[in-house]
Amino acid sequence: MRADTATILTLTGFFAVLSLFTIGGGNSAVPEMHRFSVEVQHWLTDRQFADTFALAQLAPGPNLIIVTLIGYHVAGIAGALVATLAMCGPSGLFAYFVGRAADRFKGSAWHTALSRGLVPVTLGLTASSAVVIATTADFGWVAALVTFATATTAYFVRIHPLWAFAVAALLGLSGVL
């Protein structure tokens, strides 16, 4: 752990900017978190990143709680706090002011264009997250099979995420993966 000022500043700056470029929910920012913390800063290895993602999925709370865990890994409790505050601050302020004005532009044409235009971008980002996670975890063909089986099952039936996680964790524990 390197809790020096430069690291704290880098964490803060990165997540503050990311906060405003996270569209379509927390998971669409996962590829950028991976690019920056693994490829650019070398804060985590691929494997640690995949573990961090898995832990954040298992823990209760918003998906964005992965930010706290990355911050903690990089710079302990101070890192966890600044990373989380940086991720919540800018977008939170933005939401606050837009929320106050929202009644005025409800139903306007550009409102519709904005929300429709963001759908395909969100789709591309979610697909990217799935691929980044699937390729960073230490995968063999059995693991790929588990991913595929989960995807197919979840497509056709509504399953609670925890059940999927429990089955996959048990498969991992049994040594199949």
Partner 1 sequence: MNDSSPSRSLAGQSAQSPPGAPPRLVEPTLSALFIAFATISLSGFGGVLAWSRRMMVEERRWLTPEQFNETYALCSFLPGGNILNFSVIFGARLRGPLGSLVALAGLMGPPMCLIMIIGAIYAHYGEIPALRRMLTGVACAAAGLMMATVAKMARPLFRSGAVAGPLVAVATFAAIGIVQWPLPLVLAVIVPVSIAAAWVRL
Near partner 1 in 58-77, by CB under 8 A:
58-65, 68-69, 72-73, 77
Q: By CB under 8 A, is residue 78 in contact with partner 1?
A: no
- Give the interface size with partner 1 as a residue count (CB under 8 A): 110
Pairs from 95-98 (Cβ < 8 Å, separation ≥ 24)? none
Residue 10 engages partner 1 in binding (rule: CB under 8 A) = no
- The nearer residue to partner 1, 5 or 104, going by C-beta atoms, is 104
Residue 138: enclosing H or E segment and its boundaries?
Answer: none
**Closest by CA position to 14, among listed 43, 36, 34, 42:** 36
39 binds partner 1 (CB under 8 A): yes
3 belongs to the binding site for partner 1 (CB under 8 A): no
Contact status: 42 vs partner 1 (CB under 8 A): no
Element (H, E) at 152: helix 141-156
Is residue 13 within the footprint of partner 1 (CB under 8 A)?
no
Which residue type occupies 95? A
Both tokens of residue 121? 């971008």
- Nearest distance, CB of residue 106 and partner 1, angstroms: 7
* Contact call for residues 83 and 71 (beta carbons, < 8 A): yes
User: What is the contact mask toward partner 1 in residues 126 to 155, using x (rule: CB under 8 A)?
Assistant: xxxxxxxxx-xxxx---xx-xxxxxxxxxx
Among the listed residues 10, 41, 48, 78, the single contact to partner 1 using CB under 8 A: 48
Which tokens is 91 given?
A: 């977008």
